[in-house]
C-alpha cells in the first residue's frame, strides 16, 4: 500500500471517527462541561446552613414551576417478568429501568403530574377542589371527592395513588427526616442539574453493614428546591437509584395544564381518596420510598441506615398463591416467584431461610414465616433474625 | 489458435494511424508525444497477497487502436479497473487523456467510454432505459439530447429494434452490443473495451471488429483487451502483451513484427551441404532439421539463395520464405507458446 | 461533405466540449459518421449542465428505478393493505374483544374515531414492517448494484462515489417518506370510511379539532420518516461492506430485531436511550397536551446522530473501496 493511499484512507475514516467523537462528546458533555466549568458559581455554604435554608424554603412552600423528572433504577434485581396490565404507572415499573414524570406546579392547589407511557398517559390533576385521575389506557377519568380531611392535605396525599409520581422533593423530605448522627454529611457547590447550578449534599452512613454507600441530594442554587436524589450502593459506581429533574423551569405553568374535562366517551367515575388508595393498595409496599410506611406497620430491628423491617408473611402469600383477586395481585405474585427463584438458602442460630441480595436491599424469608428487609448486608439480616 | 494473416493483409486492415507514421489514409496526424493512456509502475496487490498487475508501464498513443493482449488471469481487467479508478493501485501513477489520475476521474471519464469485464445492466429495464440510466450518471451529459444520443448508439450496434425489450430477454450477443452502445453514449476521445467480443458468434465478432475500426477512423483512441491473438492482430495498430501481471512487450504491431527476422527454409535431403551453402552466403542462425535447413534471411534475397543452392548442387525439394507471425514474435519474446486458455 | 465547416461540425454529436483540439479534419469526420448514423437527425449543441441539475437528474433516475422495481412496489402495496386489514378486522370484531387484556387501548379508540387508525397502524408497522421494507431498499442500494455489476458502469460513467452515495441516500429517504405516507394515507382513508370522524381525544385527556388531528398526523409522518431514514443510513453503511445485498438486508433486520429484544430487557435499560428502535414510536408525543416537543426533539437528535455516523461510515468505506464486482 502506497503512503498516499494509506494517508487517504486514514483521512477518510477520520470523518466517521470525528462524527462518533462529537456525538459521544455531546452525550457525555453535560457532566464534563459542568466539571470543567466547575469553578464555584455558588457561594460557599456549610451543610448545616444548607439544611436549615432548605427546610425553611420547604416550609415557605414551593414556587410555581414545571419540569421533567427522570427516575432511574438499577437495583440489580434478578429478571422480572413482564406483568400484563401494568403500564407505566405501576409501581413494579419503579424497580427497574428509566421512567419519566412530568410535573406542573402552579401552587398547592394547582398540581399536575403526567406519566407518559407508550401510546398512553396517566395524569393526576389537582385544580382547586377538583382532583382528577386520568388513565388513557383505560379511557377512565376518576374524580377524587373531597374527603373529611383538609383540602391542601388531601391534594398532597393524592399523589400517593400514583406511586411512580415521585419527585425529588418528596424523596428529599424523607431523606432529611432520616439523617441522624450515624451519617457523615458533606457538601459541594459545583453541581449542575437540569442545566442549573446546584449545591449537593452527600449523606454517607457510618455503619459498614449498610448497603448504601451514600445518598446525594442536589439543591437548586437559587431556590434551594431539591433537584435530584441519588442513592449509591457500595457495590457500584453508578447510582443504584436516582430521581432528578432533567429539565426544570421556575415560572408559573399555563393555566390550561390544570384544566381537565373528561373527554366524551370516557368512563367517568367518582371515588374518595381513601377508596382510591385502597384500590391501588395491593401495589403499595413495594417501592423504595414506602419503607417508611412499612416501618409503622411492622416490627423493626435496629435504627437509622441499618434498620431492618420484620414482616410476618408466608411464602404462599409472596408468590401470589394466596391472593387470587385482581391482576395486580397476580402480578405481585409473579414477581415474588421470580425473586424467590433466585434466593439462596441461609441458616443461623434462628433457624433457616432464603436470602436475596440486590445492590441496595437484602431480604430474608425465614422458614418460620418472617420476612426481614433492609438496606443492609445479608449477615446483618441474619443477625437481626436471631434477635427476634 | 487461428492462423495469423500476412503482414500485407494486416496493413490493409488497419485504418488507424500509427505513431509518427503517415497513417492509414486521410486521417489526422497524431503527434508522437500525445498519449491517451500512460502508466508508470502501476501495481495492484490484492488483499489476498496476489500481485495481479506488477509495475506496468503502458503508453497508448492517441489515435491508435491499442491491443492489450494476455491470457486469462494475466491482469488485463485489473489494469482497466485501475485506469478507470474502480480499483486503487497499490503503487504507481497514471494519466488518462493527459490528466493525472485518480484526481481527474470526474472530469476525464465523461470523455471515456468503457466496457469492463462484460455487460452489466438492470434486468427489469429495457435496453433503452438502461442506457438512459447510465447517461444520467454522467454529470456532463446533456439531458435534452439523451434520446437522440441513445437512438444513435443503439443504431450503431444494431439494437434499435430491440430498444424497448427488457434486458432480461436479451441474448448474450445483444447484451454485449448493448454494453458497447453504452460506451458510445457521448462523444468519446477514448474507448476502453475489455474483451468486447466475448460471447459473440463469429458474425458478431466481425461486426464488433468493424465497429472498432469505424470508431477509430473517427479519431477516437481505442484500447481493447483480448486474449485472442488473431483478434488483436486484425484490429490493432499497437499491442501490449501481458503475462501474469507483467508487461512483456509493447509497441506498434509492425515494429514488433520487424523485431523478428524473416527466415528462409530449405527442404532438402542434403542437410549438411545446404547448411554450408547458407553459411557461405553469410546467413546467420542456421538451424538444421530433419530434412530441412533454415536460416535468418535478413536483407538477403531469396532468389540469390535459391541460385546459390542450385549452384552448390543441393537437391532442393522446397524453398519457403517464412515471414514471422505475431505468434512467432511472442514465442520469441516470452520463450514459450502463447496459451490462449490461460 | 468537405463543405461542412468546422463551425457546423460543432453542432454535431461527436464534436463537443470534450474535444480539446480544433482540428477541422477531425470535425469533418465526426460530422460525417454522426450524420450517417443518425439518419439526418440533428443533435443540438450540448449545454453545460450545472452540477445541481445533474445531481437531480441522477436522483430522478434513482427514484425512478426504485419505484419501478416490482419488488419495491410490492412492498409498498403490502404496507398499504395492512391498515385496510386492521380497519376491517376492527370493524368486524369491534366490541367483541372487550375483555381488556392484551390489545392496547389505542386500537379500541379507533372504533370511536377513525383518525386513530393512522396512529395505531404507524405504531404497529414501525416496529418491524416498515424497518424491513427500508432495510430491503437501503441494504440493496450499493450492494445490489455491485452484485449485478452495474456499480462499475455507474462509477465509470462517471457518477462519482460521493455523489452516487449521496443520491442513493436521498433516494432511501424518499422511499422512507413514500412508505410512511402510504401507510398513513391508507389508514386515514380506511379510518374515515369505516369509523366515525370527529374531534380527537388526546392521551392527556384533552380534545383537539379534527383538522388539528390531521395536521398532527403530518408531523407523525415526518417523524417516522426521520426514524426510518436513520435506519436507512445503517443499512446503507452495511450495503457498502458487501457485494451480496441479501447480506446487508439480513444484517440490518437482525440489528433491528436485536435492538427490539434489548429494549424489552429491563436490566439493559441503560442502553435503551441509545437504541434507534426505542425512539421510533416516540411520536405519541403529538398526542399529548402540551405536545411533548422535548421528547420528540430528542428522538430526532438520536435519528440525526445515527444518520450522521452511519452515512459517514458508508462514505469512508465506499470512497475507498475497490470495485471488483
Ligand atoms: N478481487 C480480487 N481479489 C483477489 N484476486 C483477484 C481479484 N480480482 C482479480 N484477481 C486476480 O488477479 C489476476 C488478474 O485478474 P484479471 O485482471 O481479471 O485477469 P484478466 O482480465 O487478464 O483475465 C488473476 O489471477 C485473478 O485471480
Ligand atoms: Mg478479464
Q: How does pLDDT run across A302-359, given as a tens digit for each residue?
A: 777 888 888 777 565 555 444 444 444 445 556 667 677 777 888 888 888 888 888 8
Domain assignment present for residue C97? The answer is yes
Domain assignment present for residue C325? The answer is no
Do B187 and B51 share a structural domain? yes
The CATH number of residue B271's host domain is: 3.30.70.980
Q: How far is A12 from chain B (nearest CA, A)?
A: 14
Q: Tell me, using a 6 A CB cutoff, whether residue B77 lines ligand 1.
A: yes
Let me know if domain A31-273 sits in CATH 2.50.20.10: yes
Predicted TM-score (pTM) of the model is 0.79
The per-residue pLDDT of chain C, averaged, comes to 83
Average pLDDT of C146-156?
A: 95
Pairing relationship of beta strands B190-194 and B221-226 according to DSSP bridges = parallel
Cβ(A374)–Cβ(A362) below 8 Å: yes
Taking each helix axis from N to C terminus, what angle separates B146-156 and C24-38, rounded to the nearest 10 degrees?
80
Contacts of C140 (CB under 8 A, 6+ apart): C239, C245, C248, C249
The CATH number of residue B117's host domain is: 3.40.50.300
Question: How high is the pLDDT of residue A21?
Answer: 93
Q: Which residues of A touch C205 (CB under 8 A)?
A: 121, 123, 132, 134, 136, 141, 260-263, 266
The count of residues in chain A is: 388
Domain assignment present for residue C165? The answer is yes
Q: How does pLDDT run across B242-293, given as a tens digit for each residue?
A: 888 999 889 998 887 777 678 888 898 888 888 888 888 888 888 888 888 8
ipTM of the complex: 0.82
Is some CB atom of chain C closer than 8 A to the CB atom of A109?
no
Q: Which residue has the higher pLDDT, A79 or B65?
A: B65
Q: Which residue has the higher pLDDT, A16 or A276?
A: A16
A16 → closest Cβ in C201, C269, C309: C309
Do B295 and B171 share a structural domain? no
Q: How does pLDDT run across A128-142, given as a tens digit for each residue?
A: 888 888 988 888 898
Contacts of A67 (CB under 8 A, 6+ apart): A102, A103, A194, A245, A246, A247, A248, A249
Average pLDDT of A248-276?
A: 85
What span, in angstroms and rounded, lies between the C-alpha atoms of C85 and A2?
60
Instruction: Give the ligand at the shortest distance from the Cα of B53.
Output: 1
Q: Tell me, using a 6 A CB cutoff, whether residue B74 lines ligand 1.
A: yes
Domain assignment present for residue C1? The answer is no
Residue B14 has pLDDT above 50, yes or no: no
Domain assignment present for residue C155? The answer is yes
Domain assignment present for residue B336? The answer is no
Domain assignment present for residue C265? The answer is yes
Q: How does pLDDT run across A294-303, given as a tens digit for each residue?
A: 555 567 777 7
Domain assignment present for residue C42? The answer is yes
Domain assignment present for residue B330? The answer is no
Q: How does pLDDT run across C48-77, given as a tens digit for each residue?
A: 778 899 999 999 999 999 999 999 999 999
**If pLDDT is split at 50, 70 and 90, which confidence band does C183 have?**
very high
Do B133 and B267 share a structural domain? no
Which one of A150-159, A311-320, B324-333 scores highest in mean pLDDT? B324-333
Do B178 and B138 share a structural domain? yes
Average pLDDT of C30-52?
A: 55
Do B128 and B249 share a structural domain? yes
Domain that holds residue C263: 6-319
Question: How high is the pLDDT of residue B309?
Answer: 87
Neighbours of ion ligand 2 (CB under 5 A): B 77
Q: What is the DSSP letter of B255?
A: H
Q: How does pLDDT run across B125-157, given as a tens digit for each residue?
A: 999 999 999 999 999 999 999 999 999 999 999
Q: How does pLDDT run across A91-127, given as a tens digit for each residue?
A: 555 555 677 889 999 887 888 999 888 778 889 898 8
Residue B171 has pLDDT above 60, yes or no: yes
Cα radius of gyration (chain B): 24
Q: Which residue has the higher pLDDT, B215 or A183?
A: B215
Residue C239 has pLDDT above 90, yes or no: yes
Closest alpha carbon within chain A to C106: A119
Domain boundary assignment for chain A: 31-273, 281-387
Give the Å distance between the CA of B328 and the centre of ligand 2.
Answer: 24
Closest alpha carbon within chain B to C39: B152
Domain assignment present for residue C199? The answer is yes
Q: Tell me, using a 6 A CB cutoff, whether residue B147 lines ligand 1.
A: no
Which one of A147-161, B19-33, B223-237, C67-81 scores highest in mean pLDDT? C67-81
Average pLDDT of A185-208?
A: 87
Q: How many CB atoms lie within 10 A of CB A368?
A: 12
Do B270 and B174 share a structural domain? no
Q: Which residue has the cell 425512539?
A: C279
What span, in angstroms and rounded, lies between the C-alpha atoms of A377 and A358?
10
- List the grid coordinates of C37: 448514423
Question: How many domains are contained in chain B?
Answer: 2
- List the grid coordinates of A218: 442536589
Question: How many domains are contained in chain C?
Answer: 1
Residue B11 has pLDDT above 60, yes or no: no
In the stretch 163-192 of chain A, residues with CB closer than 8 A to chain C read: none
Do B160 and B275 share a structural domain? no
Domain assignment present for residue B334? The answer is no
Do B197 and B126 share a structural domain? yes
Domain that holds residue B268: 261-323
**If pLDDT is split at 50, 70 and 90, which confidence band does A271 have?**
confident
Do B316 and B212 share a structural domain? no
Do B280 and B249 share a structural domain? no
Q: Tell me, using a 6 A CB cutoff, whether residue B48 lines ligand 1.
A: yes
Give the Å distance between the CA of B44 and the centre of ligand 1.
Answer: 10
Domain assignment present for residue B27? The answer is yes
H/E run at residue B94: strand B91-96
Average pLDDT of C38-46?
A: 54
Q: How does pLDDT run across C251-278, given as a tens digit for each residue?
A: 999 999 999 999 888 667 778 888 999 9
Question: How high is the pLDDT of residue C118?
Answer: 93
Do B213 and B77 share a structural domain? yes
Amino acid at each position: 500500500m502506497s503512503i498516499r493511499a494509506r494517508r487517504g484512507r486514514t483521512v477518510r475514516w477520520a470523518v466517521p471517527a470525528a462524527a462518533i467523537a462529537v456525538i459521544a462528546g455531546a452525550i457525555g458533555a453535560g457532566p464534563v462541561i459542568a466539571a470543567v466549568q466547575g469553578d464555584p458559581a455558588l457561594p460557599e455554604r456549610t451543610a448545616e446552613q444548607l439544611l436549615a435554608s432548605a427546610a425553611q424554603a420547604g416550609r415557605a412552600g414551593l414556587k410555581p414551576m414545571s419540569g421533567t423528572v427522570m427516575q432511574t433504577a438499577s437495583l440489580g434485581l434478578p429478571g422480572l417478568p413482564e406483568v400484563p396490565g401494568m403500564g407505566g404507572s405501576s409501581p413494579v415499573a419503579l424497580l427497574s429501568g428509566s421512567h419519566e414524570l412530568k410535573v406542573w406546579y402552579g401552587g398547592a392547589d394547582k398540581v399536575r403530574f403526567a406519566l407518559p407511557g407508550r401510546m398512553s398517559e396517566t395524569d393526576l390533576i389537582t385544580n382547586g377542589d377538583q382532583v382528577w385521575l386520568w388513565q388513557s389506557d383505560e379511557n377512565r377519568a376518576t374524580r377524587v371527592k373531597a374527603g373529611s380531611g383538609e383540602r391542601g392535605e388531601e391534594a398532597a396525599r393524592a399523589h400517593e395513588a400514583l406511586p411512580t409520581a415521585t419527585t425529588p422533593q418528596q424523596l428529599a423530605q424523607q431523606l432529611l427526616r432520616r439523617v441522624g448522627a450515624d451519617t457523615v454529611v458533606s457538601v459541594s457547590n459545583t453541581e449542575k442539574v437540569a442545566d442549573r447550578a446546584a449545591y449537593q449534599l452527600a449523606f454517607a452512613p457510618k455503619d459498614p453493614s449498610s448497603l448504601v454507600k451514600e445518598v446525594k441530594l442536589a439543591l437548586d442554587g437559587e431556590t434551594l428546591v431539591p433537584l435530584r436524589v441519588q442513592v449509591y450502593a457500595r457495590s457500584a459506581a453508578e447510582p443504584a437509584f436516582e430521581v432528578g429533574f432533567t429539565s426544570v423551569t421556575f415560572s408559573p405553568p399555563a393555566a390550561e395544564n390544570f384544566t381537565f374535562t373528561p373527554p366524551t366517551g370516557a368512563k367517568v367515575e367518582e371515588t374518595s381518596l381513601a377508596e382510591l388508595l385502597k384500590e391501588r393498595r395491593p401495589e403499595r409496599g413495594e417501592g423504595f420510598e414506602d419503607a417508611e410506611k412499612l416501618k409503622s406497620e411492622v416490627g423493626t430491628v435496629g435504627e437509622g441506615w441499618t434498620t431492618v423491617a420484620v414482616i410476618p408473611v408466608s411464602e404462599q402469600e409472596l408468590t401470589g398463591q394466596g391472593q387470587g383477586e385482581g391482576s395486580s395481585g397476580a402480578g405481585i405474585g409473579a414477581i415474588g416467584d421470580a425473586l424467590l427463584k433466585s434466593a439462596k438458602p441461609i441458616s443461623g442460630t434462628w433457624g433457616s431461610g432464603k436470602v436475596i441480595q440486590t445492590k441496595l436491599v437484602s431480604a430474608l424469608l425465614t422458614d418460620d414465616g418472617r420476612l426481614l428487609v433492609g438496606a443492609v448486608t445479608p449477615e446483618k439480616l441474619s443477625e437481626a433474625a436471631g434477635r427476634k | 489458435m487461428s492462423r495469423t494473416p500476412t503482414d500485407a493483409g494486416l496493413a490493409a486492415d488497419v485504418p488507424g494511424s500509427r505513431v509518427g507514421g503517415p497513417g492509414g489514409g486521410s486521417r489526422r496526424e497524431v503527434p508522437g508525444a500525445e498519449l491517451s493512456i500512460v502508466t508508470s509502475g502501476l501495481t495492484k496487490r490484492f488483499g489476498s497477497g496476489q500481485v495481479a498487475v506488477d509495475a506496468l508501464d503502458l503508453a497508448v498513443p492517441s489515435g491508435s487502436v491499442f491491443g492489450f493482449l494476455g491470457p486469462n488471469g494475466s491482469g488485463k481487467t485489473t489494469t482497466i479497473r485501475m485506469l478507470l479508478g474502480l480499483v486503487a493501485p497499490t503503487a504507481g501513477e497514471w494519466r488518462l487523456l493527459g490528466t493525472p489520475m485518480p484526481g481527474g476521474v470526474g472530469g476525464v471519464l465523461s470523455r471515456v467510454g468503457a466496457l469492463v469485464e462484460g455487460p452489466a445492466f438492470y434486468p427489469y429495464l429495457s435496453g433503452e432505459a438502461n442506457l438512459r440510466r447510465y447517461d444520467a450518471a454522467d454529470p456532463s451529459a446533456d439531458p435534452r439530447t439523451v434520446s437522440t444520443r441513445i437512438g444513435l448508439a443503439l443504431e450503431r450496434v444494431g439494437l434499435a429494434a430491440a430498444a424497448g425489450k427488457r434486458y432480461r430477454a436479451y441474448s448474450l450477443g445483444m447484451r454485449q452490443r448493448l454494453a458497447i452502445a453504452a460506451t458510445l453514449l457521448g462523444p468519446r476521445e477514448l474507448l476502453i473495451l475489455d474483451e468486447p467480443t466475448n460471447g459473440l458468434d463469429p458474425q458478431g465478432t466481425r461486426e464488433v471488429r468493424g465497429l472498432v475500426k469505424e470508431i477509430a477512423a473517427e479519431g477516437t483512441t481505442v484500447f481493447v483487451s483480448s486474449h485472442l491473438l488473431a483478434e488483436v492482430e486484425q484490429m490493432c495498430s499497437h499491442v501490449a502483451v501481458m503475462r501474469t501481471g507483467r508487461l512483456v512487450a509493447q509497441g506498434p504491431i509492425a515494429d514488433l513484427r520487424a523485431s523478428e527476422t524473416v527466415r528462409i527454409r530449405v527442404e532438402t535431403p542434403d542437410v549438411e551441404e545446404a547448411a554450408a551453402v547458407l553459411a557461405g552466403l553469410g546467413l546467420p542462425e542456421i538451424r538444421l532439421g530433419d530434412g530441412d535447413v533454415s536460416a535468418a534471411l535478413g536483407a538477403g534475397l531469396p532468389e540469390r539463395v535459391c541460385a546459390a543452392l542450385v549452384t552448390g548442387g543441393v537437391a532442393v525439394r522446397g524453398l519457403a520464405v517464412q515471414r514471422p507471425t505475431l505468434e512467432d514474435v511472442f514465442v520469441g519474446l516470452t520463450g514459450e507458446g502463447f496459451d490462449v486458455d490461460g | 461533405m468537405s463543405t461542412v465547416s468546422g463551425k457546423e461540425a460543432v453542432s454535431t454529436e461527436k464534436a463537443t466540449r470534450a474535444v480539446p483540439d480544433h482540428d477541422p479534419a477531425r470535425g469533418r469526420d465526426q460530422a460525417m459518421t454522426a450524420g450517417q448514423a443518425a439518419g439526418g437527425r440533428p443533435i443540438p449543441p450540448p449545454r453545460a449542465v450545472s452540477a445541481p441539475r445533474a445531481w437531480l437528474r441522477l436522483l430522478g433516475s434513482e427514484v425512478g428505478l426504485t419505484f419501478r422495481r416490482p419488488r419495491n412496489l410490492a412492498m409498498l402495496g403490502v404496507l398499504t393493505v395492512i391498515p385496510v386489514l386492521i380497519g376491517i378486522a376492527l370493524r368486524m370484531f369491534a366490541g367483541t374483544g372487550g375483555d381488556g387484556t392484551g390489545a392496547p387501548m389505542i386500537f379500541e379508540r379507533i372504533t370511536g374515531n377513525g383518525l386513530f387508525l393512522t396512529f395505531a397502524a404507524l405504531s404497529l408497522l414501525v416496529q418491524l414492517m416498515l424497518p424491513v421494507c427500508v432495510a430491503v431498499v437501503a441494504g440493496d442500494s450499493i450492494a445490489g448494484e455491485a452484485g449485478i455489476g452495474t456499480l462499475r458502469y455507474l462509477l465509470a460513467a462517471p457518477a462519482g462515489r460521493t455523489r452516487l452515495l449521496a443520491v442513493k441516500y436521498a433516494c432511501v429517504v424518499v422511499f422512507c417518506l413514500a412508505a410512511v405516507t402510504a401507510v398513513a394515507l391508507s389508514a386515514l382513508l380506511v379510518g374515515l370510511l369505516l369509523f366515525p370522524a370527529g374531534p380527537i381525544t388526546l392521551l392527556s385527556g384533552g380534545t383537539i379539532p379534527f383538522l388539528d388531528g390531521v395536521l398532527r398526523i403530518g408531523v407523525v409522518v415526518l417523524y417516522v420518516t426521520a426514524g426510518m431514514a436513520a435506519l436507512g443510513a445503517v443499512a446503507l453503511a452495511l450495503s457498502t461492506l458487501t457485494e451480496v445485498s441479501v447480506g446487508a438486508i439480513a444484517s440490518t433486520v437482525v440489528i433491528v430485531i436485536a435492538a427490539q429484544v434489548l429494549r424489552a430487557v429491563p436490566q439493559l435499560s441503560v442502553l435503551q436511550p441509545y437504541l434507534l428502535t426505542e425512539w421510533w414510536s416516540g411520536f405519541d408525543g403529538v398526542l399529548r397536551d402540551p405536545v411533548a416537543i422535548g421528547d420528540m426533539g430528542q428522538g430526532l437528535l438520536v435519528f440525526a446522530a445515527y444518520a450522521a455516523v452511519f452515512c459517514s461510515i458508508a462514505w469512508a468505506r465506499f470512497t475507498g473501496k475497490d470495485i471488483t464486482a
